[in-house]
Amino acid sequence: MKKIILTLMMLLIATSAFAGDVARKGTTGADYLLIPVGARGIATGGAFVANLTGLESIYYNPAGLDLASGTEFMFNYMSYFADIDVSYFGASTNLGDFGSIGFTLKTLGFGDIPITTTEFPDGTGSTYSPSYLTLGLTYSKVITDRISVGTNVKILSESIENVSATGWALDFGVQYSFTSNVKIGAAVMNIGPNMSYNGPELSGFTQIPGSSPGAPGGQYTVVTEEFQIPSYFLLSLTYGIDFNEQNNLLLASTFTANNAYEDIINFGLEYGFMNNFFVRGGYNLMTENTNNNIFGLTFGAGVNYNVGGEVGFAFDYAFRDVKEFPTANHIFTVKLSFE
């Protein structure tokens, strides 16, 4: 227990130096890493960092992956805003004493965007579509009957026509169970080097200043500015209330310390009936500039059904209110599990 508390304190101290720096807003890139996945996690406001298990835990805390047995598959779809769609696929398997491994793929769909130039401000007739994707490989291990740990390695790629940027990032997480109903969790997310854009579209030819008319031009290459990825730290507590064998309630809160945004306190709850039917709600409270938060209340529902105890099916839906945009976020998640 002392080692767990010490570990959590070290994680908090290590990230507090750059947490909640509002002055750095707008200076990071790869912000698609902050788009959440999983209808259950989104419906509960991202507060279930200490108790999520299986594939859905990877985005919030990879330590929860090994707490699910068997093999799982997950597909998540979100209608984001500005006509952007987010798709997420994951697969994992439990390898017994070795632990669990998982693979995830997250992509953003922007549709076809018309190409405009100074000569053709209304469009050239051609289109382009940016490509943003994240590949993840996760390893998780239950250390004792109370402690589980996990890490996630992510490959980041984003491209716009012939210009692209690639990078990588690491996630680390731990979950600890005081009892079956009281759990804490901590995670450090998106730790990695800076990224920058490069590609043939950044090169060209121009007339050399001071050269005589008709002289051959020179080639130039635009050097782009490096940008950091949005790192953050999570510290969470979950408390469960078992009213009887059929009814239970989960309450959770998570503190999110961001390196280039306001810090956030996440609140979430989930009511479960017979471990088959669920109703969820959540809210994110910014510690500063609260009125600037474009995301409001979240809620959702889900059903989880096992066939013969060996095959499991889960369907979850989440709604997230979005300010300043005409449409809200709708998230759908389908999960299959095999023992």
In a domain, 135, yes or no: yes
In a domain, 69, yes or no: yes
pLDDT of residue 327: 84
pLDDT of residue 193: 94
- In the chain, the amino acid numbered 17 is A
Half-sphere exposure of 117 (CA within 13 A, CB side): 6
272: pLDDT strictly greater than 70: yes
Residue 308's pLDDT band, with cuts at 50, 70 and 90, is confident
154 is in which domain, residue-wise? 2-196+231-338
* Of 188 and 23, the one with more pLDDT: 188
Domain count, the chain: 1
Residue 25's pLDDT band, with cuts at 50, 70 and 90, is confident
The CATH number that applies at residue 19 is 2.40.160.60
Residue 336's pLDDT band, with cuts at 50, 70 and 90, is very high
pLDDT of residue 32: 92
pLDDT (average), residues 303-311: 86
pLDDT (average), residues 45-54: 95
pTM above 0.85, yes or no: yes
pLDDT of residue 18: 45
| C-alpha to C-alpha distance for 258 and 265, rounded to whole angstroms | 11
pLDDT (average), residues 208-233: 81
Structure tokens at 294: 């474009």
Query: pLDDT tens digit string along 189-206?
Result: 999 999 999 988 888 777
In a domain, 204, yes or no: no
In a domain, 61, yes or no: yes
In a domain, 210, yes or no: no
pLDDT of residue 276: 94
23: pLDDT strictly greater than 70: no
In a domain, 222, yes or no: no
214: pLDDT strictly greater than 90: no
CA 276 to chain centre: 26
Any idea how long the chain is? 339
Mean pLDDT of the chain: 89
| C-alpha to C-alpha distance for 26 and 28, rounded to whole angstroms | 6
* Of 51 and 339, the one with more pLDDT: 51
Structure tokens at 60: 């919030």
Structure tokens at 184: 């804490």
Closest CA relative to residue 11, chosen from 174, 131, 147, 165:
174
In a domain, 187, yes or no: yes
29: pLDDT strictly greater than 80: yes
In a domain, 219, yes or no: no
In order of 31, 115, 276, 300, the CA distances from 25 in angstroms are 11, 29, 42, 30
| C-alpha to C-alpha distance for 60 and 146, rounded to whole angstroms | 19
pLDDT (average), residues 162-177: 94
15: pLDDT strictly greater than 60: no
Residue 2's pLDDT band, with cuts at 50, 70 and 90, is low
pLDDT (average), residues 237-252: 95
